[in-house]
Chain A
Amino acid sequence: MTEEAQKTLVGSNLEHVLQNGTFAVTGELGPPQSADGNVIREKLNLLKSYVDAVNITDNQTAIVRMSSIGAGTILVEEGMEPVIQMTCRDRNRLAIQSDLLGAYALGMRNVLCLSGDHQDFGNHPTAKNVFDIDSIQMVKMVADMRDKGLFQCGDEFKGQKPCFLIGAAAAPFADPIKFRPYRLGKKVNAGADFIQTQLVYDIEAFEEYMDKVRELGLHEQTSILAGVGPLKSPGMARYMKKNVPGILVPDKIIDRMSEAGKPWSDIKKEDRTKEDKKARSQAWRKEGIQICVDLIKELQKIEGVAGVHIMAIEWEEAVKPIVEGAGLHPRPEMKTPVL
Chain B
Amino acid sequence: MIVAEQKPLEEIKELVGEAQKVLVVGCGTCVTVCFAGGDREAQILASSLRMSSKLDDHPQDVTDLTVQRQCEWEYLDPIGEDIQKSDIVVSLGCGIGVQAIAERFPETWVVPGLNTTFLGLPTEQGVWSERCAACGDCLLGLTGGICPIARCSKSLLNGPCGGSEEGHCEIDPDTDCAWQLIYDRLDSLGKLEMLMKLQPPKNWSTSRDGGPRKIIREDLQLAEEETTN
> A61-92: which residues lie under 8 A (CB-CB) from chain B?
88-89
CB-defined contacts of B158 to chain A, threshold 8 Å: 134-137, 183, 186
Contact for B184 among A134, A140, A176, A182, CB less than 8 A: A176
Q: How far is the CA of A116 from the CA of B155 in the complex (A)?
A: 12
Q: How far is the CA of A277 from the CA of B172 in the complex (A)?
A: 35
Q: How far is the CA of A140 from the CA of B197 in the complex (A)?
A: 13
Instruction: Offer 13 A-B interface pairs, CB within 8 angstroms, sorted by A.
Output: A115-B156, A116-B154, A117-B163, A120-B171, A134-B154, A134-B157, A136-B198, A137-B157, A137-B198, A174-B161, A174-B164, A245-B162, A246-B163
Q: Say yes or no for B183: interface residue by CB 8 A criterion.
A: yes
Query: Is B198 within 8 A of A190, CB to CB?
Result: yes
Known A-B contacts A118-B171, A245-B165, A246-B165; A179 and B155 likewise in contact (beta carbons under 8 Å): no
Query: Is A176 within 8 A of B201, CB to CB?
Result: no
Q: Say yes or no for B177: interface residue by CB 8 A criterion.
A: yes
B193, closest chain A residue (CB): A182
Q: How far is the CA of A71 from the CA of B140 in the complex (A)?
A: 41
Q: Say yes or no for B166: interface residue by CB 8 A criterion.
A: yes
A198, closest chain B residue (CB): B162
Contact for A174 among B155, B165, B196, CB less than 8 A: B165
Known A-B contacts A118-B170, A198-B162; A141 and B154 likewise in contact (beta carbons under 8 Å): no
What is the total of A-B residue contacts with beta carbons within 8 Å? Answer: 91
Contact with A along B185-229 (1 / 0, CB 8 A): 000000010011011111010000000000000000000000000
Query: Is A169 within 8 A of B162, CB to CB?
Result: yes
Contact for B165 among A135, A175, A189, CB less than 8 A: A175
Q: Say yes or no for A315: interface residue by CB 8 A criterion.
A: no
Query: Is B196 within 8 A of A185, CB to CB?
Result: yes
Q: Say yes or no for A209: interface residue by CB 8 A criterion.
A: no
CB-defined contacts of A120 to chain B, threshold 8 Å: 153, 171-172
Contact for A141 among B180, B192, B201, B204, CB less than 8 A: B201
Q: Say yes or no for B159: interface residue by CB 8 A criterion.
A: yes
Query: Is A174 within 8 A of B160, CB to CB?
Result: yes
Query: Is B157 within 8 A of A175, CB to CB?
Result: no
Query: Is A174 within 8 A of B162, CB to CB?
Result: yes
A176, closest chain B residue (CB): B183
CB-defined contacts of A179 to chain B, threshold 8 Å: 160, 183, 192, 195
The list of the 3 closest CB pairs from A to B, nearest first, reads A171-B162, A245-B165, A136-B158
Q: How far is the CA of A131 from the CA of B200 in the complex (A)?
A: 13
Seen from chain A, the residues whose Cβ lies within 8 Å of a Cβ on chain B are 88-89, 93, 115-118, 120-121, 129, 131-137, 140-141, 152, 169-171, 174-176, 179, 182-183, 185-186, 189-190, 198, 245-246
B153, closest chain A residue (CB): A118
Nearest-CB distance from A46 to chain B (Å)?
A: 27
Q: Say yes or no for B28: interface residue by CB 8 A criterion.
A: no
Interface of B is mostly: loop
Apart from A132-B202, A179-B192: 11 A-B pairs, beta carbons within 8 A: A115-B154, A133-B201, A134-B158, A134-B159, A136-B198, A174-B160, A174-B161, A175-B177, A176-B160, A179-B183, A185-B196
CB-defined contacts of B153 to chain A, threshold 8 Å: 118, 120
Contact for B164 among A117, A176, A185, A190, CB less than 8 A: A176
Q: How far is the CA of A133 from the CA of B167 in the complex (A)?
A: 23
CB-defined contacts of A174 to chain B, threshold 8 Å: 160-165
Nearest-CB distance from B132 to chain A (Å)?
A: 17
> B40-91: which residues lie under 8 A (CB-CB) from chain A?
none
Contact for B170 among A93, A176, A245, CB less than 8 A: A245
Query: Is A175 within 8 A of B164, CB to CB?
Result: yes
Q: How far is the CA of A135 from the CA of B154 in the complex (A)?
A: 11
Nearest-CB distance from A150 to chain B (Å)?
A: 13
Contact with A along B12-24 (1 / 0, CB 8 A): 0000000000000
A187, closest chain B residue (CB): B158
B167, closest chain A residue (CB): A175
Query: Is A131 within 8 A of B156, CB to CB?
Result: yes
